Amino acid sequence: MKTVYACFCTDVIHEGHLNIIKEAVKYGKVIAGVLSDKAMVRYNRCSILSLEERKQMLEEIPEVSEVIVQNEVMYEKILRELKPDYVIHGDNWIEGPLQTIRENVIASLRGWGGQLIEIPYTYNEKVRNIDAVMKEKTAMPEYRRKRLRLLLELCPIVKTLEVHSGLTGLIAEKTLVANHGEIDQFDAMWLSSLCDSTAKGKPDIELVDMSSRLRTVDDILEVTTKPIILDGDTGGLVEHFVYNVRTLERMGVSAVIIEDKTGLKKNSLFGTDVEQTQDSIERFCEKISAGKRAQRTEDFMIIARIESLILEKGIEDALERAKAYVDAGADGIMIHSRKKEPDEVFEFCDRFRMADGKTPLVAVPTSYHSVTEDELQSHGVNIVIYANQLTRSAFPAMQETAETILKYHRAKEVEDRLMPIGDIITLIDEV
């Protein structure tokens, strides 16, 4: 009897999935694949159900003869093992980034004369409603909050993009590319005080208070599902920080990063060019500990940002602080540098990892931007934050557009570099 393989990446079986299975059974014995958690993440999905629950869901379908786990987004490995006569899939992958998966399937099947069967993708009102409900569930605080810890377990490095509005949140949420035969995306979002302040036309000196920052957070939470890491600046007074931790935790934010500086906040990339004061180890440890005591779940993370390299106090000071902060309860360490080369960051990470192989390390390659994610990972970095690139790319584009309109007294000259309104509208989901 001939075999048919169909892989599913879902927490619910709806009409569209059943249509695929009904078609598949016409050709032979149906083997259903269920994507592993690790593969789901790379496919821009974060499951609510466990792998075993998703397996059971498919096993209960009478037409399915066997259920197996597919551990990779690409089908090549699993198809070589199964050598099915047919692979069946909806036609929604013919165009766009998912096309690279389709090409991988076709190339694999060619090895033994297998055939790809594609059926019209089912996307009626009922299916749309089911998808919307599932998306809403993944956006709920209890699911979103824990997602960063899950990503740290599943991903070699958590790729995090700066966002400062609902629209930039959607860019981080939906950007998916085919890259060297793989599907790639951002895993998490970074809401920096610099970019949030800049978007509001305010200086980055903690002038924008937490209440205003939280409104931005809420805008992003409303339209996205990916975990948020918030730039908490210095954390403020200990008495204020503990309440902010509770608020962020309740909203569904995954982590807050606080830096060990005191006084009027100045952007770190100014370094010693402006007066900046580093907090004592003892006081900053108390802030971390107070924040951890205030938490109500194990999901939320407090990450300590060390400014020793920025302030030219050296690696030894940074390492001393890192150990103390971890001992005080910090869930991660962010090491910052304004050097053009990553050497001191690499040295810190290497030496930190010799003593601590567990605590997550965070790097922000803004100044040393030539470094790759693979290089950071090889030195023990777990999270990379692209901290301000969307803001910095948007400003010159908008400035040039404004100047061009003034120059020509019309909009025709800028039209060819503008995103069509229709494309913007499709980026925004309708309720």
Active-site positions read 204
Residue with tokens 């069509």: 420
> How far is the C-alpha of 401 from the C-alpha of 410, rounded, in Å?
11
Using only the alpha carbons of the chain, give its radius of gyration: 24
Q: Residue 411, exposed/middle/buried by CB under 10 A (0-12, 13-18, 19+)?
A: exposed
Q: How many CA atoms lie within 13 A of 83 on its CB side?
A: 4
Residue with tokens 């592993």: 36
CA end-to-end span of the chain: 45
370: which strand partners? Answer: none
Whether 182 and 100 have beta carbons less than 8 Å apart is answered as yes
> How far is the C-alpha of 57 from the C-alpha of 76, rounded, in Å?
24
Q: Which two tokens stand for residue 405?
A: 């309109």
The H or E element that residue 99 is part of is helix 99-109
Q: Which two tokens stand for residue 288?
A: 């971390």
6, 59, 2, 58: which is closest to 31 by C-alpha? 6
The H or E element that residue 40 is part of is helix 37-42
> How far is the C-alpha of 254 from the C-alpha of 220, rounded, in Å?
13
Whether 314 and 164 have beta carbons less than 8 Å apart is answered as no
How far CA 48 is from CA of 7, 29, 134, 135, 137, in Å, comes to 18, 29, 9, 10, 8
Whether 339 and 347 have beta carbons less than 8 Å apart is answered as no
CB within 8 Å of 44: residues ≥ 6 apart: 176, 183, 185
